[in-house]
Amino acid sequence: MEIIFKQLLMEREEHLIKKIIDKIHKNQPETFLKLALETKREKYIEQMRKLFHLLEKAVMGESAEEEILGWGRSISEDKVRQGLSLTQSISHFHIVRSVLCDELISIVEGDAKQSVAENLMLGKVINEFIDDIILIFSASFTGMANKRLKAQQEVIDELSTPVISIVDGVAVLPIIGDIDTHRARILMEHTLKETIRQEVECLIMDLSGVFIVDTMVAQELFKIIDSLRLTGVDVNLTGMRPELAHSVVTLGINFDNVKMYNNLGQALKAFGIVRK
């Protein structure tokens, strides 16, 4: 039975791949659109051919663990690049399973000499093979997606803490949105690095985009200010909103040792930066 099934897989490979693609088109039209380009379709077809060859080895009891691992990792990288979700990708494997099971049923119906036990055993091999592929793929996909997400987060963190040079030695750091522990750490690391790189002597920290200040946020701001002072940077605050000022007073936070200005324009004028 195994030999017969392997031969049929080899003979009907293109037919089975077409059935898989047609089923994806029918059940997942939004996913199919991402495979619509000829180069992507050809690559997907080649991936399916490789999958069938690995299945043929599994059916014949041949070991192919390293090949399966490599295939799963390669496929996961491709799916992440295409922007497919884990759910969409796993659904492809369920479609492959469905097509293969339909093929097995047609073989069984055309060969009454095979025992029930043999048929069940072959079905078990197919299911275990697909299950193993899904586990390998899911682990690799999650790792790749997390790595990509981390890289994107690093870009976002850097963009959200811009140190903007105004004139030689003077720069502005606009802070927008809430400050949590993670962002405070990124803010400190990036600000220290950029002020040194840009040779900043005076940094104007604009808080006009910060709406909430609690004890933790105030402490983190003080840490950033103190760290900058240790590197020789004079820090000034601007843009303290009325509601923000109220929170500061209520919490008993003391900014007496920090120069403060009503707005950024006022701070820039104090440094002799005026519009001509």
Q: How far apart are CA 123 and CA 49, in angstroms?
A: 20
DSSP state of 198: T
pLDDT digits (tens, 9 = 90+) for 14-50: 888 888 888 888 887 766 666 666 567 788 888 888 8
Quick one: fold of 2-152? Globin-like (1.10.490)
Contacts of 51 (CB under 8 A, 6+ apart): 71, 96, 133
Give the predicted TM-score (pTM) of the model.
Answer: 0.55
Residue 157 confidence class, pLDDT cut points 50, 70, 90: low
Query: Does 164-270 match 2-152 at the fold level?
Result: no
Superfamily of domain 164-270, CATH level 4: STAS domain (3.30.750.24)
pLDDT digits (tens, 9 = 90+) for 92-148: 888 888 888 887 777 666 665 666 666 677 778 788 888 888 888 888 888 888 887
Looking at residue 99, what is its pLDDT? 86
The arithmetic mean of pLDDT across residues 10-16, rounded, is: 77
Domain boundaries, given as residue ranges, for the chain: 2-152, 164-270
Q: How far apart are CA 63 and CA 52, in angstroms?
A: 14
Q: Is the pLDDT of residue 206 over 60?
A: yes
Comparing 253 with 140, which gets the higher pLDDT? Answer: 140
Residue-by-residue DSSP string for 237-261:
EE---HHHHHHHHHHT---TTSEEE
The arithmetic mean of pLDDT across residues 160-183, rounded, is: 81
